[in-house]
Structure 1
């Protein structure tokens, strides 16, 4: 299986980077081909330009600014996102990745009858998120309703692919996580990805 592994964190020494490295090693050990996309290190520009927005629902939407990334998305069986949740949401660079790379004609096609969008990344069978939150489980899930999971699963994954296998692993209360808790989470990530088929 070919997997696009996307890291969205500005610090190379971050726990998110450690999660991404663990994920890459586990995938490669299981025989998968990993395409590594570190949004910060590749200087991805998350800003949707005026031209891109103006032509968003045009007949021939111009993806030239992100063509390299869109071709990578179209060449994989799995998409794995690694990121921290900040303010119960995505880092800005990852939101920009969604806005620019999951573009019309690439990730979806508007239904001519209106109202729906038709998935175009049907090659993606697995959609995973490996993430952390600074909040305890009960705040993220009970109080906030787990907005990141809802957006990823109901919105992005299902609108871009046809019933992908969605999986999300989250380390909660990251700001107070002990070294043992972080290590246990990395082992959880490793075990989960070792079983990916």
Structure 2
């Protein structure tokens, strides 16, 4: 498969960067082709433009400013996101990636009768999220209801590709995670992506 691996973290020496490196190595080791999209290193601007928002409900949305990223998404068979959760949400740069690249005419079509949107990313068969949280497991799941997982699985993945294989693995309580715990998490990532077919 051709995998679009999206990294969203400003620091080059971050744990997210290490996770992306392990993911890339495991995927390539299993024979997949990996297109690494490092949003910060590629200087992605997350701000939706006036033209993009203005054409959102038009017959053809203006995605010219992100045409290269749209083509990379359309060329992929799988999508792997690597990011930290900040304030129980996506980093702004990743949210902007969804806003600008997962656009009408690219990731979905509007139902002309006003119903549920129509998925267009049928090329994406696998959708994985590799993430960390600063909070303990119980805060994310029991108190907050795991909002990022819900948004990704029930919203973005389900609305953009029917029948997509969605999985998410998280390292919780990242700020207090020991080196051994971090290594175990990276091994989980390596195992999961090494088995991807």
TM-score by length of 1: 0.99
Shift of 1:136: 0.4
Q: Determine the C-alpha separation between the residues in 2 that align with 1:186 and 1:102.
A: 28
Paired positions, count: 197
Q: Determine the C-alpha separation between the residues in 2 that align with 1:78 and 1:51.
A: 29
Q: Determine the C-alpha separation between the residues in 1 that align with 2:61 and 2:167.
A: 31
**4+ long deviations beyond 6 Å:** none
Q: Determine the C-alpha separation between the residues in 2 that align with 1:137 and 1:163.
A: 28
Matches within 5 A, 1:1-197: 1-197=1-197
Deviation sequence 1:65-84 (CA, Å, 0-9, x none):
11000101111110000000
Q: Determine the C-alpha separation between the residues in 2 that align with 1:183 and 1:76.
A: 29
Residue aligned with 2:142, SS: helix
Q: Determine the C-alpha separation between the residues in 1 that align with 2:19 and 2:84.
A: 11
Q: Determine the C-alpha separation between the residues in 2 that align with 1:8 and 1:119.
A: 24
Q: Determine the C-alpha separation between the residues in 2 that align with 1:13 and 1:106.
A: 33
Shift of 1:50: 1.4
Shift of 1:174: 0.1
Q: Determine the C-alpha separation between the residues in 1 that align with 2:92 and 2:163.
A: 26
Q: Determine the C-alpha separation between the residues in 1 that align with 2:164 and 2:67.
A: 23
Shift of 1:115: 2.1
Shift of 1:54: 1.0
TM-score by length of 2: 0.99
Residue aligned with 1:167, SS: strand
Shift of 1:108: 0.2
Residue aligned with 1:175, SS: helix
Deviation sequence 1:101-147 (CA, Å, 0-9, x none):
00000000001111210000000000000000000000000000000
Deviation sequence 1:43-88 (CA, Å, 0-9, x none):
0000001121111110111110110001011111100000000000
Q: Determine the C-alpha separation between the residues in 2 that align with 1:114 and 1:42.
A: 36
Q: Identify the range of structure 1 (48-57 vs 2-11) with the bigger mean alpha-carbon deviation.
A: 48-57
Query: Which blocks of at least 5 consecutive residues in structure 1 are unaligned?
Result: none
